[in-house]
């Protein structure tokens, strides 16, 4: 059984974990980690985005959307 943290989202064979980071100016930045595989054969990719968002939820939504787009692109390239 694979444990998926509460803030992570399973998308097919990938696990997408969005994160937000507060900035000094009061906004938020977004990043997303995409994991595939298990154990010693697992791979993680981390994407950090330049955009500045007014709320934490806006940054999280952007990160989830980008994770969804990246996992779709990864699956299409594997065909």
Residue 6: predicted pLDDT: 53
- 3-class secondary structure, 39: helix
List the one residue out of 47, 21, 44, 14 whose CA is nearest residue 32: 47
At 6, list the tokens.
């509460």
Q: What is the DSSP letter of 24?
A: T
The model's pLDDT over 5-39, given as tens digits with 9 standing for 90+, comes to 557 888 888 899 999 999 999 999 999 999 988 87
Q: pTM of the entire structure?
A: 0.78
Task: Please enumerate in sequence order all residues whose Cβ is within 8 A of that of 2, keeping only pairs 6 or more positions apart, or say none.
Answer: 15, 38
Task: Please enumerate in sequence order all residues whose Cβ is within 8 A of that of 19, keeping only pairs 6 or more positions apart, or say none.
Answer: 7, 30, 31, 32, 33, 60, 63
């Amino acid at each position: 059984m694979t444990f998926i943290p509460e803030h992570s989202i399973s998308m097919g064979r990938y696990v997408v974990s969005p994160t937000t980071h507060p900035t000094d100016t009061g906004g938020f930045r977004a990043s997303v980690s995409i994991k595939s595989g298990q154990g010693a054969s697992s791979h993680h990719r981390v994407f950090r985005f330049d955009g500045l968002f007014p709320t934490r939820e806006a940054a999280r939504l952007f990160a989830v959307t980008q994770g969804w787009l990246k996992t779709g692109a990864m699956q299409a390239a594997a065909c």
